[in-house]
Amino acid sequence: MTSSSNIARYWSWHPEPTQAKTAVERVYGSVSAEIVGGDLEGGTLITEGDVAEQFNVSRTPVREAFLLMEAQGLLRLFPKKGAVVTTPNAREAAHLRQVRVMLESRAVELQAASQAEAQAGQTDRDVQAAVLAADLDTLIAVQRDAAQRSDVPAFARADHQFHARVVAGSGNPIIDDFYAALGPRLARLTCLTVRANPAELQRFVDEHTQLATALAAGDHRGYERLLQRHIGAT
């Protein structure tokens, strides 16, 4: 059985739901992507039977995927009736942003401390920092391409992957787990934002470039200021 932790990471590190390996991942990846991307709007009722038939699987993996999506705030389950897609509201968005800034800022602070140790010759974190910088450059390029194609779901996935990759660089797996679990809801907010204002696509790309520069410089305070502005303007 695939754990909730592994499924949560699936959102962080795999750009397409079609890369799922199990029935649970396939159902979760596809249905959550439809919710995040807006194809399944808030208030939509879906049932285990219909989804099981759609994916040609039993109800068991569908039920497990539904439970995970409920835990992540994408669905609300109603016994013997089905599941209703949740509708994001301003209060939830504000709370998500607060947690996002808190976790990411702490992760970057830890990275800055590790980079300082590396410069003092105490660790090999300088090599890891170079790998992180290269990964972020790749994700920014993915976002830039998605923005040019106006592919909002792909852009939102890359947006979350960028921030999740920053958090993973802290070396603290517990922070990584917490942040990964927020992935679908954070990506959903990104989709809602850029669909409402397509000009935000380019702003996100530009600000990610600034964030990557601050991170590479080990400037965790500057990163936090940029992140606050980045999140607050959303």
Q: How many CA atoms lie within 13 A of 135 on its CB side?
A: 20
- The model's confidence at residue 116, banded by pLDDT at 50, 70 and 90, is low
Sign of CA pseudo-dihedral 92, 94, 97, 98: negative
pLDDT of residue 15: 44
Return d(Cα 234, Cα 149) in angstroms, integer: 21
**What DSSP string runs through 183-197?**
HHHHHHHHHHHHHH-
**Comparing 78 with 218, which gets the higher pLDDT?**
78
CA distance 165 to 139: 9
pLDDT higher than 70, residue 1: no
Amino acid at the residue 97: R
Q: What average pLDDT does range 45-65 have in this prediction?
A: 96
For residue 229, the model assigns a pLDDT of 92
In the numeric block, which tokens belong to residue 225? 């200021």
Burial class (CB in 10 A: 0-12, 13-18, 19+), 4: middle
Q: Is residue 217's pLDDT more than 90?
A: no
Domains by residue range for the chain, with CATH: 4-85 (1.10.10.10), 90-232 (1.20.120.530)
pLDDT at 18: 62
Residue 10 pLDDT greater than 80, yes or no: no
* Mean pLDDT score, 138-158: 91
- Number of Cβ within a 10 Å radius of residue 23: 19
Residue pair 180/103 in contact (Cβ under 8 Å)? The answer is no
